[in-house]
Structure 1
Amino acid sequence: MGENGVPTIDLHQFPGQYEKLRKTCVDWGCFRLVNHNISLSLMADMKMVVRSLLDLPSDVKKRNIDVIAGSGYMAPSKVNPLYEALGLYDMGSSEAVETFCSQLDATPYQREIIGMYAKAIHEAAKDIAQKLAECMGLSGDLFEKWICQFRINKYNFTPETIGSSGVQIHTDSGFLTILQDDENVGGLEVMNPSGVFVAADPAPGTLLVNLGDMATAWSNGRLRNVQHRVQCKEATIRISIASFLLGPKEEVEAPPELVDSEHPRLYVPFTYEDYRKLRLTTKLQAGEALELKRIQS
């Protein structure tokens, strides 16, 4: 258990961590990952690249267009005026990585780092998802073809914005998120099992993992899609890298092993892309859109 309450999962301690992983994902829906396989030098290099890309002129950043709804450049908005982001959809595709880099006139060095990071994080996301499936009694290569996306985030905090919201309360729409947070600037808060927001303060060299709406649907309601937010704590720029294992290209539905008389099927099958559109059109950003996919008894 971390100092702030967010549980810690140690990748070096598997298979001994399976039950802790299952309980953590049921109760909390998030954990801090230690002893992962992403090198600290790659994390540091990627953070430098990300900062330089987010400092590009607006007309260049706007070339980062959507592949699916909401996957490209996000400019500051009325809802989140302090926040902007760039997005790479389908990190597992070398062609998609190249397109993203070309949109932003990335240098050869930046392209190399982005490509290395995308590959490493994509493999890490599939590994964590596989361990999560195994701790629930499932086997087989379940996540190999699932789409993975990253979003690089910038928060423009000023003295006037201290105490305000950097990003509104939300759940993530995908299956799981791996966050490389800003090691120098806090502000991320997650809702604990008691329904209280607690700080998920940065811990250098670690990654924060949280589960989204697709995990709740896929697990037939067992796994928690954790609500979280970003609060402005100090007048500075905050940079983070969020990588999302979104879901399969086809429809997501709970595996038969997770459906029985005590756990009847809760949700109709649906695709991630359709669900993403539903969240955007309804503006239901904190997991409520899942209720619209619930099977009516």
Structure 2
Amino acid sequence: MSINSESGASLPIIDLSLLAGTDHQRQQLAQSLADACLHTGFFYVSHHGISETLIKRVFEESQALFSLPGADKEAINKSFSKANRGYEPLKGQTLEPGSPPDLKEGFYIGEELDNSDPRVEAGRFNMGANQWPRTLADFRGTMMEYFQGMNELSGRIMEALALSLGLDEDFFADFCRQPLSTLRLLHYPPQPPNPAPGEKGCGAHTDFGGITVLLLDDKPGLQVWDAKADEWINAEPISGTFVVNLGDMIARWTNDRYRSTLHRVVNTSGAERYSVPFFFTGNPDHEVSCLPTCLDEGDQPHYPPTTVEAHLMDMYRRTYA
């Protein structure tokens, strides 16, 4: 099953339960995933193991957060955090250069680390304590339960990616150890009737890191650029699935064989829209160098070796300089 545009371009649905299937089923999974990663780097995953009850709670708590009075949200503004955690106001980010600020507000959550953690003491990138809304009693517990579940799901997706690249299933095991992950809650108000030129919920961009696992509500808005079809694909919400896309680091790791693709959000639903991306970037110390199955005889790597942390810091410098 896939979602089609008018030209027939599509995003496939990958059944993660096939990871535990027969050799033939695992080969089917690997081939389907490879095709998606070579084409757009975007796909849906089904049979992911995250309960619908938890997903419902995440949306309820997210809506409650963004419904708080402005002063309550500003009290946990991410400008107060050395680890980029907390609230980001409406129009607080511009992802597409030359366009108006994005019509969204957000909230950033990471691994909960206090000041005694050696990684925090060493000043490691984006590591530290979260900020939490004081008036939402169930918010922290819900988000940390979901955060842990998404780390585990991301590890399974990395196993599937390893198979798709002709590698052992556990090839990325060290990459998945103590990962640098970010959970981001997003709220998009309706697109204004007369938007400024280029104004949209989220400007066209690629993601920096490893994989992004995106939870959508029932409102359309996500669009993915299909270079082959030369058009934007509408990634419609599909109940029981997540949308997954590859980040710039995976493109680098695969010598640009797998794609990190432009995507954007235009909330034309006429209603409030919520989404929850989970950015799985991996172990900050893990080396990222051209994978052995992505270098043909006589070819050279497009990029020198780096680490996850060095790659991220470089991408942040380019974006926020």
Name the CA shift for 1:168/1:222 in 2 (closer, same or farther; >3 Å): same
Aligned to 1:221: 256
- The answer to whether the 8 A contact 1:179-1:241 is kept is yes
DSSP 3-state at the match of 1:165 = coil
Name the TM-score, length of structure 2 as normaliser. 0.77
* Alpha carbons 1:61, 1:86 under 8 Å: kept: no
Find the aligned partners of 2:194 and 2:16 in 1 and give their Cα distance: 38
> 1:74 is matched with which residue?
88
CA distance in 1, matches of 2:106, 2:188: 9
Q: Specify the alignment match of 2:151 in structure 1.
A: 122
Work out which of the residue numbers 10, 20, 32 in structure 2 matches 1:20.
Answer: 32
Which residue of the partner structure matches residue 44 of structure 1? 56
Match of 2:132 among 93, 100, 103: 103
TM-score by length of 1: 0.83
- The CA RMSD measured in Å over matched residues stands at 2.9
Corresponding residue to 1:113 among 142, 152, 157: 142
Q: CA deviation at 1:229?
A: 0.4
| 1:152-163 correspondence runs (5 A) | 152-160=185-193
2:195 is the alignment partner of 1:165: no
How many Å separate the matches in 1 of 2:295 and 2:220?
A: 40
What are the Cα deviations for residues 230-256 of structure 1, in whole angstroms up to 9, with x where unaligned?
113133221110001113312422234
Aligned partner of residue 156 in structure 2, secondary structure? helix
Structure index of larger Rg: 2
Displacement of 1:260 after TM fit? Answer: 4.6
1:288 alignment counterpart: none
The separation in 2 between residues aligned to 1:78 and 1:217, in whole angstroms, is 25
1:32: Cα distance to partner?
1.0
**Uncovered stretches (5+) of structure 2, i.e. residues with no partner:** 5-9, 20-25, 95-100, 121-126
* Cα deviation, residue 278, structure 1: 3.5
Residue among 4, 9, 12 paired with 1:7 = 12
Q: Residue 169 of structure 1: SS of its match in structure 2?
A: strand
Structure 2 residue aligned with 1:176, among 195, 200, 211? 211
Distance 1:208 1:161 in 2: 30
Structure 2 residue aligned with 1:90: 111
| Paired letter, 2:242 | L
Deviations 1:248-295 (A, max 9, x none): 3124222345445244211122344444444344349xxxxxxxxxxx
Q: CA deviation at 1:119?
A: 1.0
Judged with a 3 Å threshold, the aligned counterparts in structure 2 of structure 1 residues 204 and 10 are, in CA distance, closer, same or farther, namely same
Give the deviation of 1:66 after TM superposition: 4.5
Return the letter of the residue paired with 2:193. Answer: E
One-letter code aligned to 1:62: N
Q: Does 1:149 align with 2:182?
A: yes
Q: Can you give the 5+ residue segments of structure 1 that lack an aligned partner in the other structure?
A: 285-297
- 3-state SS in 2 of match to 1:160: coil
1:59 aligned partner:
74
* Distance 1:220-1:151 versus aligned 2 partners, 3 A rule: same
1:111-132 CA distance string (max 9 Å, x none): 2211211111110011101110
Residue number in structure 1 paired with 2:163: 134
For 1:218 and 1:110, locate their aligned partners in 2 and report how far apart those are by CA, in whole Å: 36
Post-superposition offset of 1:12: 2.3
Deviations 1:190-216 (A, max 9, x none): 012413211001112211001110111
Counterpart amino acid of residue 124 in structure 1: L
User: Secondary structure of 1:6's partner?
Assistant: strand
